[in-house]
A and B are shown apart, each in its own frame.
Chain A
Amino acid sequence: MGRQILLEHINVPGINTFDVYRKHGGYASVEKALKTMTPDEVTEEVKKSGLRGRGGAGFPAGMKWSFLDRKSEKPRYLVCNADESEPGTFKDRYLMEKIPHVLIEGMITSSYALGAKTSYIYVRGEYMYIIRILEQAIEEAYAKGFLGKNILGTDYSLDLYVQPGGGAYICGEETALLESLEGKRGNPRLKPPFPAVAGLYASPTVVNNVETIATVCAIVNMGGDEYAKIGIGKSTGTKLISASGHINKPGVYEIELGLPVEEFIYSDQYCGGIWKGRKMKAVVAGGSSVPILPTELILKTAKGEPRLMSYESLSDGGFVSGTMLGSGGFIVMDETACIVRNLWTFTRFYHHESCGQCSPCREGTGWMEKVLHRLEHGHGHEGDIDLLVDVAKKIEGNTICPLGDAAAWPVASAIRHFREEFEYHVRYPEKVKNPKHFELEPFVPAAAAMATV
């Protein structure tokens, strides 16, 4: 295993409790920050660490913090984004379930840096049992003097609450999350103003992902410069990857950024190779929103260099031959998987989750889903594939929030890299009219079969 920072003590029995967590160095960052550092110094360390947001967009966390309007008279808020609903992503849940205190610790240290007196953790409602775990951890932290008035005898006071969502992927988008936290529909806001200026209750607010906030503990403990040495180039540190699909060992893995993709997939330390001794066909590397890549392109870049698990390497080649690290939801498909059907489930997801505020996303996601449904169920026809490409293009970039893009990218990329499979669906409707089964005849011969017709 490479360097473990977040999951170092994951197997210690009782690590979910305050005492065991504390014994293993827990809450050290709170002590260090509150007693020996100014809030700005903490922010400075996060800046130096090069930590990039782990929620999907990869925006440098220190920079986001420095945008927070500190001159405003209004209270400032830190809100943790634990809405985790991007298909293929389940790392935050794992972390919160196993080591809830690392998030609580990170919230305290980060809130101190940002000058927040009240902070919220917004957890997707379906994770209700995680909410109970966090609430219990918070109660322990209050009891031990790490939350509440005058933490550890300092002037700093903080209240921390957990907020349940109600079932809506869009509430992972930070402004929709804030709306939802205010008790409203999860409609993303128009920007500007950005949350750093007018976020929760129109006050300056920082929204960060669970993993981002948890990582702040390690950064404060070891120092930003030290953290920046881990990883590769601008992809500093470690990242939690949620691995799912047709692999031998699905699960959450902490990797040092820069690990070769091939090693991640085939090494027994990680995914353990493709299940049932089959071959790999495609990978969605960063959650359902990012472009899908065929085996050749996920293992090697178009230039022939080995592809690495890092922000830069995965996006090498742009959207023509690359993808994105995204939220780290790594979905592997074996040679039997039907790309069209997989895409249909993704598109159905975005259709289901569109908030419906803006017309391209509201109407376009449903349209794409219906066309894909048609193709997948043997009712597709000539022109459908180009129609999909065109609809995706008309959504992309024209919506209020990035959900529109997130719905368009998988469609565009699946057709770019697997067009013959879509054509196969148009030409051989009777062969694909099999909605029950997830495993189809291997598609490899498809192109050959078509050539002989």
Chain B
Amino acid sequence: MSKVEFSPDTLALAQRIIKRYPEGRQKSALLPLLHVAQAEFDGWLSPETMDYVASLLNIKPIEVYEVASFYTMYNLKPVGKCLIEVCQTGPCWLRGADDIVEHFEKKLGIKVGETTADGMFTLKTVECLGSCGTAPMLQCGADYYENLTTEKVDTLIEKLRASDNRSTYMKSNMQEL
């Protein structure tokens, strides 16, 4: 494995983020930097990536592990290129989220929590994403897909597969439905 290091551009971004906080409070940059790192290194945070972020902020590695494992958006294991996160909390459930999840399982041939054999999709159920008025919905990377129907899911799967981009929270990969 190659050495974990940000590209010069990303490093510059990281330095700008660190400057948002007062002297001596650079640890505040941890959450944003983990997002940046996850986007840079294949959509997940390996121990090496976390150690690297720790070195950028001059904090102990355990401080990074503690934080990364607390928040749900950080993947501590590799995920498929497109991480499909379907909301399943009350308001979405009331509008048929279960059907959407079931449809995904059928279409992709995987269960919730699994990744397709080609490494393209990981299916996950998540809790309320603040989109209950446009339920059912899912998030893939930075994008919200709302008012879902099984037909829309079919279209989405096709488009995502065709675009072959890795979804990241940092950048929109919006596929028109």
Which residues of A line the B interface, CB within 8 A?
Answer: 75, 84-90, 92-93, 118, 124-129, 132, 161, 163-169, 180-186, 201, 242-246, 250-252, 284, 288, 329, 331, 333, 337, 341-342, 345-346, 348-349, 352-353, 355, 435-438
Residue of A86, A118, A185 with highest tally of chain B CB at under 10 A? A185
A437 touches B127 (CB 8 A): no
Pair B130/A166 contact, Cβ less than 8 Å: no
Are B144 and A87 within 8 A (Cβ)? no
Interface band, chain B: 35 or more
- B133, A345: Cβ atoms under 8 Å? no
The answer to whether B90 and A342 have CB atoms under 8 Å apart is yes
A201-B25, A345-B88 known; A85-B130 Cβ under 8 A: yes
Known: A183-B63, A342-B90. 7 other contacts (CB 8 A): A128-B169, A166-B72, A183-B29, A245-B91, A250-B135, A331-B90, A352-B127
Whether B73 contacts A125 by the Cβ 8 Å rule is: yes
Q: How far is the CB of A25 from chain B (nearest CB, A)?
A: 27
Q: List the 8 closest pairs (A to B, CB-CB), nearest first.
A: A166-B71, A167-B72, A167-B73, A183-B30, A183-B27, A244-B132, A87-B128, A250-B133
One of A166, A169, A245, A337 near B35 (C-beta < 8 A): A166
**Closest chain A CB from B146 CB (angstroms):** 10
Number of A-B contacts (CB under 8 A): 165
Minimum C-beta distance from B125 to chain A (A) = 10
Distance between Cα atoms of A252 and B132 in the complex (Å): 10
* A353 engages B127 (CB within 8 Å): yes
Partner of A166, one of B29, B73, B96: B73
B101–chain A nearest beta-carbon distance, Å: 10
Task: Give the complex CA separation of A337 and B94 in angstroms.
Answer: 7
A243 touches B133 (CB 8 A): yes
Contact A245 B130 (CB under 8 A): no
CB-defined interface of B124-143 with A at 8 Å, one 1/0 digit per residue?
Answer: 00011111111100010011
Given contacts A129-B142, A250-B135, contact A436 B102 (CB under 8 A): yes
Choose one: A129, A184, A355; the contact of B172 (CB below 8 Å). Answer: A129
Docked Cα-Cα span, A206 to B32, in Å, equals: 22
Q: Does B170 contact A (CB under 8 A)?
A: yes
In the complex, B8 has a CB within 8 A of chain A: no
Q: A85-B128, A128-B170, A129-B142 are in contact. Are A166 and B31 (CB under 8 A)?
A: yes
Known: A129-B143, A166-B70, A166-B73. A90 touches B31 (CB 8 A): no
Closest CB in chain A relative to B16 CB, distance in Å: 11
Q: Which B residues lie within 8 Å of A181 (CB)?
A: 28
Q: Are B89 and A349 in contact (CB under 8 A)?
A: yes
Give the distance in Å from the alpha carbon of A385 to the alpha carbon of B172 in the complex.
46
Query: Which residues from chain B contact A84 at a C-beta distance below 8 Å?
Result: 130
Task: Name the B residues within 8 Å of A124 (CB-CB).
Answer: 130
Out of A126, A329, A437, A438, which one reaches B132, CB within 8 Å? A329
Judging by beta carbons under 8 Å apart, are B96 and A244 in contact?
A: no
Alpha-carbon distance between A89 and B20 when the two chains are bound, in angstroms: 29
Which residues on B are within 8 Å of A, measured CB to CB? 20, 22, 25, 27-32, 34-35, 57, 59, 63, 66-68, 70-74, 88-91, 93-99, 102, 127-135, 139, 142-144, 169-170, 172
Contact between A438 and B93, CB atoms less than 8 A apart: yes
Q: Which residues of B contact A92 (CB under 8 A)?
A: 130
Contact partner, B98, options A128, A164, A436, Cβ 8 Å: A436
The docked-state distance in angstroms from the alpha carbon of A180 to that of B67 is 9
- Give the residues in chain B near A164, CB-CB below 8 Å: 31-32, 35
Return B67 CB to nearest CB of chain A, in Å. Answer: 6
Asked if B91 and A184 make an inter-chain contact with CB atoms under 8 angstroms apart, the answer reads no
Measured between alpha carbons, how far is A92 from B133 in the docked complex, in Å?
13
Residues B73 and A438 in contact, CB atoms below 8 Å apart: no
| Given A126-B139, A244-B91, residue A182 in contact with residue B127 (CB < 8 A) | no
A164 to B172, CA, bound (A): 16
Q: Is the CB of B130 within 8 A of A125?
A: no
Nearest CB in chain B: distance from A43 CB, A: 24
Bound: A125/B35 CA distance, A: 9
Residues of the B chain whose Cβ atoms lie less than 8 Å from the Cβ of A246:
94-95
Question: In the complex, A395→B30 CA distance in Å?
Answer: 32
Contacts of B135 in A (CB 8 A): 244, 250
Interface centre among A124, A167, A201 (most CB of B within 10 A): A167
What residues of chain B lie closer than 8 Å to A87, measured between beta carbons?
A: 89-91, 127-128, 132
B131 touches A341 (CB 8 A): no
A166 to B, closest residue via Cβ: B71
Residues of A contacting B74 in the complex (Cβ-Cβ under 8 angstroms): 166-167
Minimum CB–CB distance for B78 against chain A, Å: 18
Contact B25 A182 (CB under 8 A): yes
A124→B135 CA distance, assembly (Å): 19
| B38, closest chain A residue (CB) | A166
Knowing A87-B127, A246-B94, A250-B132 touch, does A345 contact B139 (C-beta < 8 A)? no
